[in-house]
Amino acid sequence: MNLNTEDSTGFVPFARPSIGIEEEEAVLAVLRSGWLTTGGVAKKFEDAFSKALQVPYALAVNSATSGLHLALDVLGVKEGDWVISSPYTFTATVEIARYLGAHPLFVDIERDSFNIDPMLIERALEQSGKRVRCVIPVHVGGFPCNMRSICEIARRKKVAVVEDAAHAFPCRTNAGPAGTAGDFGVFSFYATKTITTGEGGMLVTSCGDFARQAGILRLHGIDREVWKRYQGDEPAAWEYDVVAPGYKYNLADLNAALGLCQLEKALDFRKRRESIARRYLEAFAEADFLRLPPEAPGHSWHLFVLCLKPDLMTVDRDEFLKALIERGVGASVHYKPLHLMSYYRDTYGLKAGDFPNSLERYLGAISLPIYPSMTNEQVEKVIREVMYLGGKYRRSNG
């Protein structure tokens, strides 16, 4: 069964991109233009993104993972350094530290959200004895981190902040648009994200020097953008210098064309996701076997993560989830925390109980479908099936 495709049985996919005629036409125009790779369309996408976010510099990249890697490289993270994040995230958030020979230092999430606990960041900075260079908060599911606290602690302790805003476009934190409060912010346009370019991402910063360095590293360490060399106003099209051992992280115009269209629709998409979230919250308000996700006015509602209360259930989350999928709802889990993954567990000697809030959330977590093209009937079906299984598997009080 493919959890992302509709079929005649009425299965509700977990995620589906909203691609319209505008996207089809924009991609076709690039195909017909004769210039498929990074060029004027990617530049237009960057300009539109930086305007939308009110941030001076936006660099289109071929994934958020690439953007995170560039950010850490520009910040000078190196062999033997440590970066703080929570284990309640996707591996990309911290694997990029390993690319540079640095290590993840995990601290737990807050009790009432899926996001990193600022107090624990401060404690780790004071007590770990490690050379921490950077904090990477993740707006999990699009729920805003407490960026004011995190940036204040980071400033005091002289460490950098890279916001993993992969889920957070558009999202507003208590320090402005997500992605703009730290030294860098990184967005993902992976196929299931709030806006998509198929694969892709955006690295944003307010620092001109950081942007210049990231721009060079993004394309092989070449000192000027390749596409500009063919614009006609440059003196020697063939000539360039290589000033660093860079990467191949540019976003092609084909993908950027999708991004420009999706950006136009981003606020409408968010509005629809929020209305689905409101309906779920209302429908599940009285379901005592569920813990509902936290709310915030700036939430992007990329994910809607329910938590089952295991003490009240006769089955565990895995069985509940399996039954839900069998009944036609493409649900999923965000996240199996990284400290339970064999690589991080074994490399850093971590135990399941080291991060109790992450563990507790994980054991109950079920992500429900939430995307703009969901019909009201599909939303109601999801609600009906969750409530049916809740009734079936809730422990009786007697």
Contacting positions for ligand PLP (CB under 6 A): 63-65, 89-90, 92-93, 138, 164, 166-167, 188, 190, 201
Q: Is 193 a catalytic residue?
A: yes
Please, what is the minimum distance in Å from the beta carbon of residue 92 to ligand PLP?
Answer: 4
Nearer to ligand PLP, 61 or 383 (CB): 61
Nearer to ligand PLP, 62 or 378 (CB): 62
Tokens of 362: 């994980």
C-alpha span between 46 and 59 (Å, rounded)? 6
- Cβ-based neighbours of 271, under 8 Å, separated by 6 or more: none
The residue from 44, 78, 193, 322 that is catalytic is 193
Query: How many CA atoms does the CB half-sphere of 211 hold within 13 Å?
Result: 15
Nearer to ligand PLP, 139 or 381 (CB): 139
Residues facing 161 on adjacent strands: 135
Nearer to ligand PLP, 115 or 357 (CB): 115
Nearer to ligand PLP, 290 or 338 (CB): 338
- Cβ-based neighbours of 265, under 8 Å, separated by 6 or more: 18, 20, 195
Say if residue 310 is preceded by a cis peptide, omega within 30 of 0. no
* Collapsed DSSP state (helix, strand, coil) of residue 109: strand
Please, what is the minimum distance in Å from the beta carbon of residue 255 to ligand PLP?
Answer: 11
Could you tell me which of 54, 58, 62 has the C-alpha nearest to residue 38? 62
Please, what is the minimum distance in Å from the beta carbon of residue 387 to ligand PLP?
Answer: 28
Q: What is the largest CA-CA distance in the chain?
A: 84
Place of tokens 């969750």: 386
* Cα 157 to Cα 83, 344, 371, 391, distances in angstroms: 13, 26, 39, 50
Could you tell me which of 171, 176, 174, 102 has the C-alpha nearest to residue 136? 102
Nearer to ligand PLP, 303 or 389 (CB): 303
Could you tell me which of 314, 313, 331 has the C-alpha nearest to residue 322? 331
Please, what is the minimum distance in Å from the beta carbon of residue 61 to ligand PLP?
Answer: 9
Nearer to ligand PLP, 65 or 255 (CB): 65
- Cβ-based neighbours of 322, under 8 Å, separated by 6 or more: none
Q: Is 14 left (phi over 0), alpha (psi -120 to 50) or beta?
A: alpha
Report, as residue numbers or ranges, the catalytic residues: 193
